[in-house]
Amino acid sequence: MSKIAESAGAAVADITDGRTIAIGGFGLCGTPSALIEALLQSGATDLHIITNNCGPDSSDVTRLLRAGRVRRVSASYIGDNSEFLNSYLGGAITVDLIPQGTLAEKLRSGGAGIPAFYTPTGVGTAVAQGGIPVRYGSGSGFAAEYSAPRHVAEFDGREYLLERSLTADFALVRAETADTIGNLRFRGAARNFNPLCAMAARVAIVEVQEVVEAGGIPPDDVHLPGVFISRVVDLGGRMRKPIERLRTTDPVPAGGGSHGL
Amino acid sequence: MSKIAESAGAAVADITDGRTIAIGGFGLCGTPSALIEALLQSGATDLHIITNNCGPDSSDVTRLLRAGRVRRVSASYIGDNSEFLNSYLGGAITVDLIPQGTLAEKLRSGGAGIPAFYTPTGVGTAVAQGGIPVRYGSGSGFAAEYSAPRHVAEFDGREYLLERSLTADFALVRAETADTIGNLRFRGAARNFNPLCAMAARVAIVEVQEVVEAGGIPPDDVHLPGVFISRVVDLGGRMRKPIERLRTTDPVPAGGGSHGL
Amino acid sequence: MTWSRDEMAARAAAELTDGQHVNLGIGIPTLITGHLRDRAIMLHSENGIMGLGGYPLPGDEDADIINAGKETATTVAGSSFFDSAMSFAMIRGGHIEVAILGAMQVSVAGDLANWTDDGARVKGMGGAMDLSVGAKKVIAVMTHRTREGQLKLVRECSLPITARAAVSTVITDIGVFDVREDHFRLREIAPGVPALDPELSRMLRPGR
Amino acid sequence: MTWSRDEMAARAAAELTDGQHVNLGIGIPTLITGHLRDRAIMLHSENGIMGLGGYPLPGDEDADIINAGKETATTVAGSSFFDSAMSFAMIRGGHIEVAILGAMQVSVAGDLANWTDDGARVKGMGGAMDLSVGAKKVIAVMTHRTREGQLKLVRECSLPITARAAVSTVITDIGVFDVREDHFRLREIAPGVPALDPELSRMLRPGR
């Protein structure tokens, strides 16, 4: 029962128009480039993309947008990206702006069968009150649609707002290693939203740097169990890992230490 | 900033009467014996224990009960344990029976700052309607107090009930390995409720088989980050791991295979 | 003749499809493991294992590897361990294709009663309510009568409910019944079982 | 004289206690890292790191190890990686002792505005709302005036709010202010700063 797909193209072939797709990654880090490229090639359009932030103008998600394939985006941030910002402000796409922790929790809850939860995040703000522009009028510069207010309830004397969970038809995610039945290990901060997107989707597709046999990942070391993964695309060591902002430091002067507990 | 405690006794010394304590483990598996023993020695009483199931009559948690130190238990199951069952039915302790998945989620949510969530578990049952005996009259055999009904709401045409999250003053948990700042690794199915109890507590105390230096656990391999742990008790390889139900099989006949994907 | 416990387990195993993730409850369902040799089935254990194996060989017991019945166990290739919140995220989130559970009563509507035999002396529901609500498909396995002779296939459960409209198929000692909202459909009858009890026959027809 | 950006960062670092887990926002707060050498402080990065270090040496860059500002980064001994739900569980659950955030406005009540400069062209709040609500203590670091000369310490925020009653201390270029519900308490003034602006002085007294 190997889950290894023939190719990235084959893995995304049944993603039809109008689907909701959760895409892992934080900017360029941990983003499934090969799968997004395959989605671009597939021609599927009118997509609702759920992804934390869309990365810079050079990102793969931006290429989907530029090709006119994105109807709606649910994200915590669309700055650093003039294409997304202009499409949003120009009324070409609908955008749900969601606090990052709430977005992470919505995906995790969606995958865990929890339909809604209360959170303190956003109480007393436009998230709770509604009124964040969701869609702008075409070229008008004015919002044509605003986010809806949230139900607010008090528990133990503190206010919380109710958030609905998110699920997706498909997830496109990236991991470092998979076994043949989809058990995954991530690497460093490239884990981020990837496990959560996979959990929230009906069909989760992962691209990986390497594939090992079932049992090749010790059971204590699996980051995400294969039960959440439907298809594995083996990039065979040819994974592209761009760096969004390269920063380095001068060698530490003699006697300089580091922080940490 | 090492979190290594001098002893189990020192680690639990500030647990005063009346506290709520989340205890990890599933029956005897992954249960923090040394810490419970220390709690028994400390004399703290009138305790509210949150633990999935209380194990058999020989369990450490049962010793706390027998010593009269337990006021209330929140658990998913108290069968297999005549002491707990008799104390409950005899009116000596108050018991909140909570579906296992709901209990796990209540602890995880409590630790994650989510005060309440909706779940499908228990809809249409005594959990939603209320009426599960919480406390029996002393020796009467009749319930003197029942569980409260839950608020039920509909999302997308399906009913869910609202559950409040759980937090604890202290957690007593067990892991296999800790580093000096409390990063943890668990072993096998002994993980169970341990990370969740630690997350839900204001002060989480862990007993471990071995301690390594900070950095001794590769950052990708940490199961529970040390930010959730306040104190580490090093059992130095002398961890007791009792087996609740020993079952073995005859060697597989030649040609016999196994299941699995 | 009726099916033995082990024959019921074999019949339940035949309901499974390769590639599925399956949770087996305590009681007759645990016997199903013996009928899964060479099947591409991953067994889920609510205490935090995907890829549960059989019992260990003598000498190979490991206190940290137990099943949901607290018995020593093993794992198969491709298994994983995780915490209880993740374990029930799998269950509640619909990622477990099938749960096969023991039952005290199942109604024509698929209502399941299996967590307490009366309302006054409850011991706790463990993971039963989560499993019966969360698994994509729930199969109940039980003898069709209690030891006292009462039918366990019922119009409406008299025992406290574990979940409403949860069960889709009931495998009993006399045959396989599919739940059809207002009646049972007898899909298969155990060889040599005589005519059904009139009370049970009535439940094979729609309505009350 | 007023404090430079780096002096403000140093002053903010002095507010931290060894043993704390701290999240540093983007902008001036990122400069604080340079003032934590040999401090027993663990830095949390919202994208899934506890134990963030400084920038890597040239040649040591790793695309999989970045900070919340998407810059290449390193980790310290005892660090860990985790997913975003766990990262924000730490934040929302009150496990991060201090968040030090940049700000556009802070009110006497501790209301924080730092996620959008006007309501009509929003780019998203990222993790700002979670951090300001979840961290046990929130310190804001900002110049006390905008480039256009408007006070950023205010009676009531005119910009969209990130969180209500979130900030306890504001470190500015002219001094350190504690939030006192209906006024600011001037805890420390930068050396050589002349008399405070009358509008700001009024905010040091209770009431409107």
Annotate A173-208 with three-state secondary structure.
EEEEEEECCCCEECCHHHCCCHHHHHHHEEEEEEEE
Q: Which of C18-22, C121-125, D83-87, D171-175 has the lowest mean pLDDT?
A: C121-125
Q: Which residues of A touch B117 (CB under 8 A)?
A: 109, 114, 116-118
Which residue of chain A comes nearest to C38, CA vs CA?
A1
Instruction: Tell me the two tokens of residue D150.
Output: 């408007």
Tell me which of C7, C46, C148, C199 is the catalytic residue: C46
CB count within 10 Å of CB D142 equals 23
Answer yes or no: do B225 and D50 touch at CB < 8 A: yes
D18 touching B (Cβ < 8 Å) = yes
> What length does chain B have?
261
B228 touching D (Cβ < 8 Å): yes
Q: Is D97 a catalytic residue?
A: no
Residues in Cβ contact with B167 at an 8 Å cutoff, skipping those fewer than 6 apart: B20, B110, B111, B200, B201, B202
d(CA A201, CA A229): 9
A225/C90 touch (CB, cutoff 8 Å), yes or no: yes
> How many residue pairs from chains A and D have C-beta atoms closer than 8 A?
213
Using a pLDDT cut of 90, give the percent of chain A over it: 87
ipTM greater than 0.95: yes
Query: Residue C154 forms beta bridges with which residues?
Result: C107
Query: Tokens representing C134?
Result: 């969360």
DSSP of A76-117: SB--S-HHHHHHHHTTSSEEEE--HHHHHHHHHHHHTT--EE
Angle between helices D84-92 and A100-111 (to 10 degrees): 120
Query: Which residue in chain C is spatially nearest to A166 when comparing CA positions?
Result: C93
Q: Could you give the C-alpha distances from C139 to C106, C112, C135, in angstroms and in order?
A: 10, 10, 10
CA distance B4 to chain D (A): 13
Per-residue pLDDT, A225: 98
**Distance in angstroms (rounded) separating the CA atoms of residues D151 and B139:** 70
Residues in chain A within 8 Å Cβ distance of B114: 105, 117-119
d(CA B3, nearest CA chain D) in Å: 10
Residues 24-53 of D with CB under 8 A from B: 40, 42, 44, 49-51
Cβ <8 Å between D78 and B226: yes
Contact residues, chain A, for B220 at CB < 8 Å: 185-188, 223
Q: Which residue of the set D7, D46, D71, D188 is catalytic? A: D46
Residues 106-145, chain D, touching A (beta carbon < 8 A):
111, 119-130, 133-134
Interface size A-B, in CB pairs within 8 Å, comes to 66
Instruction: Report the alpha-carbon angle B179-B184-B190, nearest 5.
Output: 135
- pLDDT in single tens digits along all 208 residues of chain D: 799 999 999 999 999 999 999 999 988 998 999 899 889 999 999 999 999 999 999 999 999 999 999 999 999 999 999 999 999 999 999 999 999 999 999 999 999 999 987 655 678 999 999 999 999 999 999 999 999 999 999 999 999 999 999 999 999 999 999 999 999 999 999 999 988 889 999 999 987 5
Nearest chain B CA: its distance from C136 CA (Å)? 13
Among D50, D51, D89, whose Cβ lies nearest the Cβ of B111?
D89
From first to last of its 261 residues, what are the pLDDT tens digits of chain B?
A: 799 999 999 999 999 999 999 999 999 999 999 999 999 999 999 999 999 998 899 899 999 999 999 999 999 999 888 998 889 989 999 999 999 999 999 999 999 999 999 999 999 999 999 989 999 998 777 889 999 999 999 999 999 999 999 999 999 999 999 999 999 999 999 999 999 999 999 999 999 999 999 999 999 999 999 999 999 999 999 999 999 999 998 875 544 457 787
CA–CA distance, A194 with A176 (Å, rounded to integer): 11
Contact A119 B114 (CB under 8 A): yes
pLDDT of residue A256: 44
DSSP conformational letter for A153: E
Flag if B219 and D44 touch (Cβ within 8 Å): no
**Across the interface, which of D40, D81, D123 has its CB nearest the CB of A79?**
D123
Q: Which CA distances in Å does B16 have to B19, B93, B169, D195?
A: 6, 19, 10, 52
- Indicate yes or no: CB of B119 within 8 angstroms of CB of A105: no
- Nearest-Cα residue of chain D relative to residue A199: D85
Tell me which chains share at least 3 CB pairs under 8 Å with chain D: A, B
Provide the phi-psi class of D119: left if phi over 0, else alpha when psi is between -120 and 50, else beta.
Answer: alpha
Please, do chains C and B touch (3+ CB pairs < 8 Å)? yes
Chain D residues with CB-CB distance to B1 below 8 A? 18-19, 40
Res B255: pLDDT: 45
Q: Which two tokens stand for residue A149?
A: 């207010």
Nearest CA distance, A104 vs chain D (angstrom): 5
Mean per-residue pLDDT of chain A? 94
Scanning B120-149 for CB atoms below 8 A from C yields 120-127, 131-133, 141-143
Q: A77: distance to nearest CA of chain B, Å?
A: 22
Check if CATH label 3.40.1080.10 holds for domain C5-201.
yes
Q: Name, in order, each residue with C-beta under 8 angstroms of A101's C-beta and a sequence gap of 6 or more.
A: A119, A121, D46, D84, D87, D88, D91, D92, D127, D129, D130, D134
Q: Do the Cβ atoms of A181 and C89 come within 8 Å?
A: no
The predicted pLDDT at position A253 comes to 54
Please report the beta strands in chain C, taking only residues with DSSP state E, as ranges in sequence order. 21-24, 42-45, 49-52, 75-81, 98-102, 105-107, 112-113, 137-141, 153-154, 167-171, 175-179, 184-189
A249-260 tens-digit pLDDT: 887 554 445 788
Nearest CB partner across the interface for B181, out of D78, D81, D96: D78
Q: Which of B19, C69, D160 is nearest to A133 (CA)?
A: D160
Chain mean pLDDT for chain C: 94
Mean pLDDT computed over A217-225:
98
pLDDT of residue A252: 58
Provide, as residue numbers in chain A, all residues whose Cβ is less than 8 Å from the Cβ of D37.
256-259
C84 — contact with chain B (CB < 8 Å)? yes
Does any CB of chain D come closer than 8 Å to the CB of residue B213? Answer: yes
A198 has a chain D CB within 8 A of its CB? no
Q: What is the pTM of this model?
A: 0.97
Q: Is B220 on the interface with D (CB under 8 A)?
A: yes
C93:A199 CB<8 A:
yes
Instruction: Tell me whether strands B168-179 and D175-179 are parallel, antiparallel or unpaired.
Output: unpaired
Question: Quick check: C92 and A113 CB within 8 A?
Answer: yes
Mean pLDDT to the nearest integer, A132-151: 91
Question: D53–A105: do the CB atoms touch at under 8 Å?
Answer: no
Write out chain A residues lying below 8 Å of D42, CB-based: 259-261
What are the pLDDT digits (tens) for A48-82? 999 999 889 999 999 999 999 999 999 999 988 89
In whole angstroms, give the CA distance from residue C60 to residue C62.
6
Angstrom distance (rounded) from CA B189 to CA B25: 9
D150 vs chain A: nearest CA distance in angstroms? 23
Q: For residue B141, count CB atoms less than 10 angstroms from its CB and return exposed for 0-12, middle for 13-18, buried for 19 or more.
A: exposed
Q: From chain D, pick out residues whose CB is under 8 angstroms from the CB of B219.
A: 49, 51, 75, 79-81
**Tokens of residue B178, six digits:** 């800790």
Q: D touches C (3+ CB pairs < 8 Å)?
A: no
Give me the pLDDT at residue C117, please. 76
B2/chain A closest Cα distance in angstroms: 8
Residue ranges of the domains in chain B?
A: 1-117+165-235
Contact (Cβ atoms closer than 8 angstroms) between residue B223 and residue D86: no
Distance from CA of A9 to the nearest CA of D (A): 25
Q: Which of A28, A132, A248 sits opposite D57 (nearest CB)?
A: A248
pLDDT at D118 (0 to 100)? 65
Percent of chain C with pLDDT over 90: 88
* Paired strand residues for B212: B179
CB atoms within 10 A of CB A151: 14
A142 compared with A192, residue with greater pLDDT: A192
Confidence at residue A79, expressed as pLDDT on a 0 to 100 scale: 84
DSSP summary character for residue D160: P
Higher pLDDT, A97 or B252: A97
Non-local (6+) Cβ contacts of B32 within 8 A are B23, B24, B25, B60, B172, B173, B174, B206, B207
Q: List helix spans (H) across B94-170.
A: 100-111, 126-129
Task: Give the HSE-up count for residue A67: Cα atoms under 13 Å, Cβ half-sphere.
Answer: 18
In angstroms, the CA B63 to CA C90 distance is 34
Structure tokens at B35: 């810490």
B242 has a chain D CB within 8 A of its CB: no
How far the first Cα of chain A sits from its last, in Å, is: 45
Instruction: Provide CATH code, domain A1-117+165-235.
Output: 3.40.1080.10
With 0-12 / 13-18 / 19 or more C-beta atoms within 10 angstroms meaning exposed / middle / buried, residue C111 is buried
| pLDDT tens per residue across span C34-88 | 899 889 999 999 999 999 999 999 999 999 999 999 999 999 999 999 999 999 9
CB contact under 8 A, A222 and C19: no
CB C16 within 8 A of CB C39: yes
